[in-house]
Amino acid sequence: MKKYTFPIIIEQDEDGWYVGIVPDIKGCHTQARTLSELDKRLKEAIKVCLEADKSQVSQNTFVGVHQVQIAA
C-alpha cells in the first residue's frame, strides 16, 4: 500500500464551517463544524478520490501558504 502526504488548505466560511481543500487532488474537498471532524472527513474524502482516479494525483512539494491583502 502506497503512503501519501498531502498539504491541506483550511479556511473558515462566514457561517463558521471549516472547509478543507486538497490542492494536489482536483475536486477533493470537504467541510465540517470542528477541526477534528474536518480531519476525519478529509481522510475519507482523500481515500474516495484516490480510489476513483489515481492518475490525477500529483505529489507536489509543499512550500507554504501566503495571504495577500489588497484594496480595490
Looking at the structure of the chain, the number of domains it has is 1
- Sheet bearing 29-32, strands edge to edge: 9-12, 18-21, 29-32
Q: Fill in the DSSP letter of residue 53.
A: -
Average pLDDT over residues 15-26: 94
Q: Output the furthest CA–CA distance in the chain (Å, rounded).
A: 49
30 backbone dihedrals φ, ψ, rounded to 5°: -160, 175
* 35-61 tens-digit pLDDT: 999 999 999 999 999 988 766 677 778
Provide the whole-model pTM: 0.80
The residue segments making up the domain with residue 9 are: 1-72
What are the start-end ranges of the H helices in 1-72? 35-52
Cell numbers of 26, please? 482536483
Q: What is the CATH number of the domain that holds 53?
A: 3.30.160.250
